[in-house]
Amino acid sequence: MSTELARIAAPRTRVGLVAGGLGAYWPQFPDLLPQLQRSAERVSERMRELGCDVVDVGFVSDAQEGAVAAEKLRVAGCDIIVGFLTTYMTATMLLPVAQRSGAPVLLINLQPTESMDHATFDTGQWLAYCGACPLPEMANTFIRAGIPFRSVSGYLEDERAWAKIGRWVKAAGVRAALRRGRHGLMGHLYPGMLDVATDLTLVSANLGGHVEVLEFDDLRVRVEKVTDAEVKERMDLARGVFELADTVNDDDFSWAARVSVGLDRLVDDFALDSLAYYHRGLDGEIHERLGAGMILGASLLTARGVPSAGEYELRTSLAMLIMDRLGGGGSFTELQALDFARGHVEMGHDGPAHLAISSRRPLLRGLGVYHGKRGWGVSVEFDVTHGPVTAFGLLHRQDGRFGFVVSEGEVVDGPLLRIGNTTSRVDFGCDPGEWTDAWSATGISHHWALGTGHRVAELRAVADLLGVDLIEVKP
C-alpha cells in the first residue's frame, strides 16, 4: 500500500501495573520477596511485548503502599489497571487502586510454573504459588464495593493466559479510542431511515467521546481550495491502489480525487477519528456532487484507520472503528441477497470500503447512477478476503442503552455482482433465511461492519469494559 495510505498513529494503550504480596511474609521467608519481584519484572516485560505503554508502580506490601500506588496510577490516567497477585495479599491493598483510577480492573494470578514440586517445597516456596488464594477475597470486596473486575489465572509463561491478558489489553485500547474519540457526523439523515437515527447524547453516554456535527459546507470550502496539482497527485495515488474499470470517467475520477483531498483536510482540521455522512442534494448542485464524490476519499480514509460510513450511519462508523482497532478492518455492509442454493448470505454496500481487507486489488468502477441516491461518479468494488469473518453492529435499544450484535462466519467462493459494490458471500453454517431472521430479530439496524477474523471473544471483552450487552447470533 502507498506510503500516503500509511495508517494513522493511534495512541498506544496505557496499562497501569501494580504487583503485591503480604509484607508479613518477608521477614519469615527471606527468599520469597526477591522471587516474587522477579516474577513481577517478567510480567512487566511481557506486558510491554503486547505493544502497550506500561506504567509500572512496582511492588506493594501493605495498605499504605497500596494507597501510594493508587495515587500514582490515578495521576497516570491509565486505560486499564492490572493487579498482579503474586501471593496472598489483603483486599485493602488493591481496593484503593481500583476506586481511584476510574479505569477497568484486571486481576492476574500467574504462579511461577505449571505445578509445584511437592516433595521438596517448603512453606516459603509454596507461598510463591499462592496467588490464587486472595482472588476470591478481591472478587468479594470489589463486588461489594460496586467495582467491576475480571481475572486471568495461569502461570508466568502460560500462553493461554497471556492470550486472554492480551485480549483484555486490546479491549481496553478500543474502549480508550471510543472515550477519547471525535466522531464526525456530516449532512443529514437519509429520509425515512428510522433505524439509522441515533440520539447523539446516547453515544457519549454509552461509549464516551464526542460527536462533531458538520455541514457539507465544511467540506465544500475545503474542496474549493484543493489545487489541480493535488488532484493529479491523488489520482496517481488512486491508480496505484485501485484497478480502474473502463467505465471510470476522467471528470468523475478527478472530482472524486478533489473531494478526497478536501476530506483529508476536514478530518485533520476537526481531528476526527471516524465519519458518517449523507446529503441528498438537488439537480446536480454542489452539495449533491460532493455527496456523490465521497466514496473514493472515504475508502482511502477508512484504509488509513479513520472509518467512514455513508447514509449518515453513525453507529456503523463506530462499529467500523471498533473492528478496525481490533485489527479486523471493518467495511460498511448491509444485506444484499440470500443464495439458498449455495447456503450463503450475500452482503456488502456501494461504499465506502475498507481496502485493507479486500481479497484482491480493489476495483474502482464508474457508475452512471447510485441506486437510491442522487448523483453519479465512481464506486469501490471488491470481495472481502476469504476465510473467517465477523459481522458486527451496534444496537440502539428502546431504553437508550447500546448493545453489540455479532455473528461469526466464513467468506467463501461464488458468483458476485459487478455493479460497483463491495459484495461478499458469507456462510454462517446454517440456512441463510434462518440466519437472516435471527440477525434481524436482535433489533440491529440494516447496516453493520464486516471484518476479518473470528472476533466474538475480543468483542465480548470490549463489551464487558464498556458495560454493554453482547448478543451472538448463532442459529
pLDDT of residue 2: 40
Q: State phi, psi for 438 to the nearest 5 degrees.
A: -65, -40
Last residue within a domain, chosen from 116, 151, 174: 174
Q: How far apart are CA 446 and CA 285, in angstroms?
A: 29
Peptide bond into 432 cis (omega under 30): no
169 with 226, same domain: the answer is no
Q: What are the average pLDDT values for consecutive 10-residue runs of the chain, which has 475 residues?
A: 68 97 98 98 98 97 98 97 98 96 96 97 97 98 97 98 98 97 96 94 97 98 98 97 94 96 98 96 92 95 96 97 96 96 95 90 85 77 96 96 98 92 95 98 97 98 98 94
Residue 157 has what DSSP assignment? T
109 with 206, same domain: the answer is no
150 with 18, same domain: the answer is yes
Q: How many domains does the chain have?
A: 2
Residues 298 and 208 sit within 8 Å (Cβ to Cβ) = no
pLDDT of residue 5: 74
Residue 119 has what DSSP assignment? T
202 with 336, same domain: the answer is yes
167 with 185, same domain: the answer is no
Residue 315: partners with Cβ closer than 8 Å, 6 or more residues away: 196, 198, 393, 394, 396, 402, 445, 447
pLDDT of residue 371: 66
239 with 377, same domain: the answer is yes
Residues 176 and 11 sit within 8 Å (Cβ to Cβ) = yes
CATH of the domain at 25: 3.40.50.10940
Last residue within a domain, chosen from 174, 201, 216: 174
pLDDT of residue 1: 38
203 with 279, same domain: the answer is yes
152 with 266, same domain: the answer is no
pLDDT of residue 147: 96
CATH of the domain at 297: 3.20.14
pLDDT of residue 217: 98
254 with 144, same domain: the answer is no
pLDDT of residue 261: 98
91 with 198, same domain: the answer is no
pLDDT of residue 79: 98
pLDDT of residue 3: 38
135 with 204, same domain: the answer is no
In the sheet that holds 363-367, the strands lie side by side as 243-244, 363-367, 377-381
Q: How far apart are CA 307 and CA 184, in angstroms?
A: 10
Tallying the residues shown for the chain, one arrives at 475
Domain span holding position 143:
3-174
pLDDT of residue 4: 53
271 with 238, same domain: the answer is yes
Last residue within a domain, chosen from 148, 174, 200: 174
pLDDT of residue 322: 98
Alpha-carbon distance values, 1 to 241, 362, 381 (Å): 7, 12, 17
